[in-house]
């Protein structure tokens, strides 16, 4: 006799469609994530510098390492080759520039008394001219002596600062972490970069995968264009100011030109700082006003060439990062997290700019924007 078929109870099937997450939970998750990032930076800002620098190096060197990997070179070997090439370039640059900068600073130190006297003479002469214009008695003798003394003190301060920077400048960057730890971290990040990106990609919410990936690509495009373009502009200004100031005969012209070019990653700040410092030195070094005007024209010409020739060619108008926002972000980052905040300022600003433009487009496509106004009777 055939045994009756038994029906085995099956467990209820798990729905493949996830439940919709309430909007307030999404907002809470975003706010919690932002707070966690802020707290992490506040707690560990003192040790994050080599990691941030290494991440930036890995971000820039990933394209050539990926190209070598497609040509059959193991990724670990390509990472080593690119890091060695970068370190070699930096060391050679330092070895070439350090003797020149050291010689200029020693020359400046030996000429400080003469330059102080020249600066004091210039200040007294200009005050005398101003007194003739305004009339006798408008400027007292005590004020003239005070201005002359302060002018000499300013020149001495510049020379002393230059000597201190020459002796302790490298210590400011913490050689142990930036020279030894950063390349090691950079190697591991470069080697594992595709795996890290794939892991992040797997964590994207499936429903918003295309949107998030598009935003990430837009942020990456802006960062690549802005940072590479800004680096080219800084190198151009550093080379132009250094060569022009040295040809003009300004002591410390090479150092001031390099500093002005490097500081130009903050729009216009490098030019202003370099111009003021160079003009003060020129007043103390040269007897006539002609050389001072030449120094001023060098900075005007450099900034005009950068604004109308170099920057449009390598930066253009497609970045969406205005100079005002960049300056604000750099100062805000420095105030909040110090030098680490300066490094993170531009990436954070670029990210926020892309997100704000995205939400503005969403708003302009929503019923809140498109619905006609209600007419009350």
Domain ranges of the chain: 211-364
pLDDT in tens, 77-90: 999 999 999 889 88
SS3 annotation, 151-193: HHHHHHHHHHHHHHHHHHCHHHHCHHHHHHHHHHHHHHHHHCH
CB 116 within 8 A of CB 152: yes
Res. 295: pLDDT tops 50: yes
Token look-up 């700040």 returns 269
User: Whose CA is closest to 254, among 105, 115, 109?
Assistant: 105
Exposure on the CB side of residue 112, measured as CA atoms within 13 A: 16
Exposure on the CB side of residue 34, measured as CA atoms within 13 A: 8
Q: In the structure, what pLDDT confidence band is assigned to residue 150 with cuts at 50, 70 and 90?
A: low
Q: In the structure, what pLDDT confidence band is assigned to residue 16 with cuts at 50, 70 and 90?
A: very low
pLDDT in tens, 93-119: 878 777 777 776 676 666 666 666 666
Above pLDDT 90, what percent of the chain?
Answer: 9
Q: Which residue has the higher pLDDT, 160 or 197?
A: 197
Residues 6+ apart with CB under 8 A from 183: 54, 83, 87
Question: Among 54-63, 357-366, 367-376, whose mean pLDDT is lowest?
Answer: 367-376
Q: Which residue has the higher pLDDT, 148 or 293?
A: 293
Question: Using CA atoms, how far apart are residues 221 and 81, in angstroms rounded to an integer?
Answer: 25
DSSP state for residue 265 in the 8-state scheme: T
Q: In the structure, what pLDDT confidence band is assigned to residue 22 with cuts at 50, 70 and 90?
A: low
Question: Using CA atoms, how far apart are residues 76 and 294, in angstroms rounded to an integer?
Answer: 52
CB 213 within 8 A of CB 205: no
For residues 196-218, average pLDDT = 82
For residues 320-325, average pLDDT = 72
DSSP state for residue 4 in the 8-state scheme: P
CB 73 within 8 A of CB 189: no
pLDDT in tens, 211-252: 888 888 888 888 887 778 888 888 999 999 999 998 888 877
Q: In the structure, what pLDDT confidence band is assigned to residue 344 with cuts at 50, 70 and 90?
A: confident
């Amino acid at each position: 006799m055939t045994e009756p078929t038994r029906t085995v109870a099956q467990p209820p099937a798990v729905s493949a469609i996830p439940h919709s997450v309430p909007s307030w939970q999404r907002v809470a998750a975003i706010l919690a994530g932002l707070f966690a990032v802020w707290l992490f930076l506040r707690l560990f800002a003192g040790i994050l510098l080599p990691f941030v620098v290494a991440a930036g190096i890995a971000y820039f060197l990933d394209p050539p390492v990926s190209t070598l990997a497609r040509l059959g070179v193991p990724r670990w070997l390509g990472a080593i080759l690119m890091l060695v090439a970068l370190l070699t370039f930096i060391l050679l640059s330092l070895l070439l520039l350090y003797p020149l900068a050291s010689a200029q600073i020693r020359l400046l130190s030996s000429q400080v008394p003469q330059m102080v006297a020249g600066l004091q003479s210039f200040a007294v002469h200009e005050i005398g001219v101003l007194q003739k214009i305004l009339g006798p008695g408008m400027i007292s003798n005590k004020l003239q002596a005070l201005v002359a003394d302060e002018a000499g003190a300013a020149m001495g301060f510049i020379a002393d600062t230059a000597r201190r920077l020459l002796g302790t400048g490298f210590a400011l960057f913490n050689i142990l972490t930036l020279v030894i730890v950063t390349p090691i971290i950079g190697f591991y990040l470069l080697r594992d970069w595709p795996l890290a990106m794939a892991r992040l990609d797997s964590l994207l919410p499936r429903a918003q995968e295309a949107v998030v990936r598009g935003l990430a690509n837009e942020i990456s495009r802006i960062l690549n264009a802005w940072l590479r373009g800004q680096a080219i502009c800084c190198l151009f200004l550093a080379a132009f100011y250094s060569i022009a100031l040295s040809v003009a005969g300004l002591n410390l012209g090479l150092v001031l030109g390099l500093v002005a070019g490097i500081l130009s990653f903050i729009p216009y700040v490098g030019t202003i700082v370099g111009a003021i410092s160079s003009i003060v030195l020129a007043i103390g070094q040269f007897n006539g006003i002609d050389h001072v005007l030449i120094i001023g024209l060098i900075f005007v010409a450099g900034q005009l060439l950068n604004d109308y020739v170099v920057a449009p060619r390598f930066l253009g108008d497609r970045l969406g990062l205005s100079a005002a926002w960049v300056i604000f972000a750099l100062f805000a980052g420095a105030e909040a997290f110090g030098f680490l905040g300066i490094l993170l300022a531009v990436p954070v600003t670029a990210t926020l700019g892309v997100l704000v433009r995205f939400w503005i487009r969403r708003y302009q496509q929503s019923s809140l924007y498109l619905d006609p106004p209600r007419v009350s009777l």
